[in-house]
Structure 1
Amino acid sequence: MLRITLRDGEKAIVNGAVIRAVGRTQIAIENKVSILRGSEIMRPEEATTPARQLYFAAMLAYIDPASRDSHHEAVVGLVGALIAALGTAEAKAACIRFAGEIAQGEYYKALGSAREVIAFEDAVVAQQAA
């Protein structure tokens, strides 16, 4: 059993359904579900860079299994471009780890790796701006 606590107004996605807490809410999940809490949810307008688009595509693959094949196509194209664009071995390793997790169907775990890729991309952008 998985227990999560949502703050008042916090949103979560459970098997594709968006839920919003009214008051502080505790939810007990008793079977296997795809669940994302508020901070893990990315809106389409937030997918403004290749790494964020990668996260968004992986998130959709996780919460929208009916359209998973089309989301996979987006993921494959983006991960290849990011491996080529991000210069460090650590960044490339994060991309490869992400791709492996997606290939194994570990979508939630892949979102964590995608957040690492976003951090590497942010560092490259900051370095180029300096």
Structure 2
Amino acid sequence: MTTLRLSLRAGERIFVNGAVMRVDRKTSLELLNDVTFLLESHVMQAADAKTPIRQLYFLVQMMLIDPADARAARDAFDKTYPLLLAAFSNARVRDGLMDAAELVERDRAFEALKCLRGLIPLEDMILSGVQPAAIEPRSIAMPLAIGARS
């Protein structure tokens, strides 16, 4: 069993296994068992899901934040994913989307979010008109994990 230690600022929220918690002062938490969580800084608001990959991210996020309604979010993901895959010709985006879908299929929504978060800067470049061949593989920062689930 791995212990994961998190430090939270006063007023910060964390979503743990579907529950929303807010701390009233700076605090540290130790997660002693398998848990699915999102830090508030990684939660995307519906109004910010303005691009196709961000919309897919939002659906996966809803699987984690609202487990009671995860089936509806999963159904929407299953309908959206193939359309999105068909819309992109960039190999890195397509590979990332396929990786995210595989993770969702294996009930690894947390890891799928990490994968999709890494595609957002690439999507932004493509949507701004940068030619995919001009995008250097190492020019896009890949985010670190935000949680643990074994």
TM-score normalized with structure 2 length: 0.78
Unaligned runs of 5+ in 1: none
**How much does 1:19 deviate?**
1.8
Structure 2 partner of 1:36 = 38
**How much does 1:38 deviate?**
1.7
Q: Which residue of 113, 127, 130 maps to 2:129?
A: 127
Unaligned runs of 5+ in 2: 131-150
SS at match of 2:74: helix
Structure 2 partner of 1:2 = 4
Structure 2 partner of 1:112 = 114
Does the Cα contact within 8 Å between 2:17 and 2:67 map onto a contact in 1? no
Output the amino acid matched with 1:61: M
Structure 1 partner of 2:141 = none
**How much does 1:17 deviate?**
1.9
Number of residue pairs the alignment of both structures matches: 128
Q: Which residue of 49, 52, 66 maps to 2:51?
A: 49
Higher relative contact order (CA 8 A, sep 6+): 2
RMSD of aligned residue pairs (Cα, Å): 1.5
**How much does 1:23 deviate?**
2.2
Output the amino acid matched with 1:57: L
Q: Which residue of 56, 68, 71 maps to 1:66?
A: 68
Runs of 4+ in 1 over 3 A off after TM superposition: none
- Superposed CA deviations along residues 65-108 of structure 1, whole A, max 9, x for unmatched, are 22222111111222212212222111100000000000011111
SS at match of 1:109: helix
**How much does 1:64 deviate?**
2.4
Structure 1 partner of 2:137 = none
Structure 2 partner of 1:85 = 87
TM-score normalized with structure 1 length: 0.88
Indicate the percent of aligned positions where both proteins have the same amino acid: 33
SS at match of 2:30: strand
Cα separation, 2, equivalents of 1:91 and 1:51:
9
Output the amino acid matched with 2:14: A
Cα separation, 1, equivalents of 2:61 and 2:109:
7
